[in-house]
């Protein structure tokens, strides 16, 4: 495997299948000859696909689409009816692939890993399908009200796609973990765009993904018939002694602290753009003018709201050196650590806030999103690689393995905590760990490199 990497900044793979890394196109369409010039309807569709891929349904603007397509905004209504119909049209390229994946998981389980990997790689070769996937993911990861029909429909489509495991009783949990890995890998490659995963050659991804998914599906089938370990029951003290030094009653926090705490809750559930400063002021019971007085701006309030949680990552135990000498024990340690990372306070709400803000941006968010992408990258480096200084000293293959681990846990968080997919959402961490640890060991001990011979 011949991989070229730049040790400073991003580290794209040298790949003939993807070409040079590039941002999504914006602005005017390229000039064309009169005979090949696209029609107004075609221009609307092309620009809308880019807009929805960048910002999702809520962040996309019909006026921006009309301006970039050089047409009157009324033409969008003439050709497509409304924003929801236009969105449905541009995301249609994802549907055939989703139907094929469902059929594979239901009816071809013994070879599902390689077959699913081949379908996903084939979809990656079609730019329209990738952009449609970005539009769908940004939309269903954007918090919305319960009465929002478009977001509800996208959530329903996602739940239907990821619930194929119900065709095989007893394997639902493992199959949904496999779905979570697919979700996480798409997020890492196409929304967060972390290298080297973002520009890994497609043959490499197909090889690793096929083996990894098949191992997980096989483990899921074995899990369905394996007895669960007996949990130790801690003794209960029915008559605890009274505390001779009871704590004094808590002090009422000041207004600034109450604003910050309310913001932390809101950003973690509603996202950056779903959080309204006036609603925060109403919850706290203060004048809305006090928020800019204490924090300057909404962006500064957000930065401070996630700062404590992200700072907690610096106290995570060092597992990188132990990984080399005892990968099995390291896998067993990483699984509960990464699962708690998204739920324990304060880092859990902070990470949820960062992810929601990163995958659902609006025009003008470029600076903030850049900071947040760096913060999530720091999580991967700190937890899995023991700091950015060690990233430069390991191979691209090894770093890809770490990113696959990160993608798996990111996808798990999305399907458990954001989509609420059952039974994954209600499963205990211990149940999920039983399925994950063998897979993590395979990734962390370097065995997955054997799958990279196709590169």
Quick one: angle between helices 396-413 and 347-359, nearest 10? 100
Sorted by sequence, the CB contacts under 8 Å of residue 182 that are 6+ apart come out as 116, 120, 213, 411
Q: So what's the pLDDT on residue 44?
A: 92
322 and 430 housed in the same domain: yes
pLDDT in tens, 58-78: 888 899 999 999 999 999 999
CA distances from 110 to 21, 107, 114, 214 (A): 36, 9, 10, 8
Is residue 35 domain-resident?
no
- C-alpha–C-alpha distance, residues 441 and 331, integer Å: 5
Q: So what's the pLDDT on residue 20?
A: 42
- C-alpha–C-alpha distance, residues 117 and 266, integer Å: 37
Q: So what's the pLDDT on residue 437?
A: 84
Is residue 355 domain-resident?
yes
Is residue 294 domain-resident?
yes
315 and 296 housed in the same domain: no
Q: So what's the pLDDT on residue 209?
A: 85
Q: Is the peptide bond before 45 cis (omega within 30 degrees of 0)?
A: no
C-beta of residue 76 within 8 angstroms of C-beta of residue 86: yes
- C-alpha–C-alpha distance, residues 288 and 281, integer Å: 5
Count of Cβ atoms closer than 10 Å to residue 111 Cβ = 12
Is residue 242 domain-resident?
no
63 and 111 housed in the same domain: no
- First-residue to last-residue Cα distance in the chain: 5
Sorted by sequence, the CB contacts under 8 Å of residue 377 that are 6+ apart come out as 194
Question: What residues make up the domain containing 298?
Answer: 255-306
291 and 375 housed in the same domain: no
426 and 291 housed in the same domain: no
C-beta of residue 13 within 8 angstroms of C-beta of residue 34: no
Q: So what's the pLDDT on residue 238?
A: 52
| Residue 39 φ then ψ, to 5° | -75, 170
Q: Is the peptide bond before 346 cis (omega within 30 degrees of 0)?
A: yes
263 and 300 housed in the same domain: yes
314 and 337 housed in the same domain: yes
448 and 335 housed in the same domain: yes
Is residue 33 domain-resident?
no
Q: What's the number of domains the chain is made of?
A: 3
317 and 299 housed in the same domain: no
324 and 195 housed in the same domain: yes
Structure-token match 């098949």, residue found:
214
99 and 85 housed in the same domain: no
Q: Tokens in use for 38? A: 């696209």
Is residue 314 domain-resident?
yes
CA distances from 85 to 45, 76, 240, 411, 414 (A): 11, 10, 63, 28, 26
Q: So what's the pLDDT on residue 259?
A: 92
Q: So what's the pLDDT on residue 11?
A: 39
**CATH classification at residue 272:** 1.10.10.60
326 and 345 housed in the same domain: yes
Is residue 14 domain-resident?
no
Q: So what's the pLDDT on residue 29?
A: 47
Q: Tokens in use for 418? A: 């954001």
User: Which residues of the chain have a pLDDT value below 70?
Assistant: 1-36, 95-98, 144-147, 159-170, 221-252, 313-325, 379-396, 446-449, 451-455
Give the 3-state DSSP-derived string for the chain, with helices as H, strands as E and coil as C: CCCCCCCCCCCCCCCCCCCCCCCCCCCCCCCCCCCCCCCHHHHHHHHHHHHHHHHHHHHCCHHHHHHHHCCCCHHHHHHHCCHHHHHHHHCCCHHHHHHHHHHHHHHCHHHHHHHHHHHHHHHHCCHHHHHHHHHHHHHHCCCCCCCCHHHHHHHHHHHHHHCHHHHCCCCHHHHHHHHHHHHHHHHHHHHCCCCCHHHCCHHHHHHHHHHHHHHHHHHHHHHHHCCCCCCCCCCCCCCCCCCCCCCCCCCCCCHHHHHHHHHHHHHHHHHHHHCCHHHHHHHHCCCCCHHHHHHCCHHHHHHHHHHHHHHHHHHCCCCHHHHHHCHHHHHHHHHHHHHHHCCCCCHHHHHHHHHHHHHCCCCCCHHHHHHHHHHHHHHHHHHHCCCHHHHCCCCHHHHHHHHHHHHHHHHHHHHHHHHCCCCCCCCCHHHHHHHHHHHHHHHHCCHHHHHHHHC
Q: Which of 306, 335, 365 is the last residue in one of the domains?
A: 306
- pTM (2 d.p.): 0.73
Q: So what's the pLDDT on residue 23?
A: 44
**Which contacts of 87-92 are long-range, i.e. CB under 8 A and separated by 24 or more positions?**
87/48, 87/52, 87/57, 87/60, 87/135, 87/139, 87/150, 89/45, 89/48, 90/45, 90/48, 90/49, 90/52, 90/131, 90/132, 90/135, 91/52, 91/132, 91/135, 91/136, 92/132
Is residue 4 domain-resident?
no
């Amino acid at each position: 495997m011949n991989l070229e990497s730049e040790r400073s900044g991003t580290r794209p793979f040298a790949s003939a299948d993807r070409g040079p890394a590039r941002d999504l196109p914006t602005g005017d369409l390229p000039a064309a000859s009169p005979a090949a010039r696209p029609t107004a309807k075609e221009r609307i569709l092309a620009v809308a696909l880019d807009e929805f891929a960048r910002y999702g349904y809520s962040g996309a603007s019909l006026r921006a689409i009309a301006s970039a397509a050089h047409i009157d905004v009324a033409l969008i209504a003439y050709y497509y009816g409304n924003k929801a119909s236009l969105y449905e049209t541009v995301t249609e390229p994802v549907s055939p692939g989703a139907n094929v994946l469902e059929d594979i998981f239901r009816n071809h389980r013994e070879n599902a890993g390689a077959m699913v990997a081949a379908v996903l790689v084939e979809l990656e070769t079609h730019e329209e399908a990738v952009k449609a996937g970005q539009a769908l993911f940004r939309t269903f990861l954007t918090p919305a009200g319960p009465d929002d029909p478009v977001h509800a429909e996208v959530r329903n489509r996602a739940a239907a796609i990821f619930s194929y495991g119900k065709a095989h009783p007893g394997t639902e949990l493992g199959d949904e973990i496999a779905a979570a890995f697919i979700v996480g890998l798409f997020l890492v490659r196409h929304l967060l765009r972390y290298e080297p995963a973002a520009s890994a050659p497609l043959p490499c991804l197909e090889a690793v993904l096929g083996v990894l998914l098949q191992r997980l599906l096989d483990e899921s089938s074995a899990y369905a018939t394996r007895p669960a370990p007996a949990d130790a029951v801690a003794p209960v003290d029915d008559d605890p002694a009274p505390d001779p030094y009871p704590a004094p009653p808590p002090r009422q926090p000041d207004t600034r602290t109450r604003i910050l705490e309310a913001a932390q809750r809101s950003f973690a559930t509603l996202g950056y753009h779903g959080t309204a400063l006036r609603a925060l002021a109403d919850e706290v019971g203060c004048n809305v003018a006090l928020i800019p007085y204490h924090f300057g701006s909404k962006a500064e309030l957000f930065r401070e709201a996630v700062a404590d949680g992200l700072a907690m990552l610096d106290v995570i135990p060092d597992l990188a050196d132990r990984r080399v000498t005892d990968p099995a024990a390291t896998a067993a340690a990483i699984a509960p650590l990464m699962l708690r990372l998204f739920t324990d306070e304060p880092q859990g709400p902070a990470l949820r806030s960062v992810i929601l803000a990163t995958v659902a941006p609006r025009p003008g968010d470029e600076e903030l999103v850049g900071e947040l992408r760096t913060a999530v990258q720091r999580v991967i480096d700190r937890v899995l690689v023991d700091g950015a200084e060690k990233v430069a000293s390991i191979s691209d293959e090894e770093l890809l393995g770490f990113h696959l681990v990160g993608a798996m846990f990111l996808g798990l968080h999305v399907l458990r905590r954001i989509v609420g997919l059952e039974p994954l959402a209600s499963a205990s961490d211990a149940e999920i760990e039983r399925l994950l640890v063998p897979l993590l060991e395979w990734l962390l001990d370097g065995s997955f490199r054997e799958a990279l011979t196709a590169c």
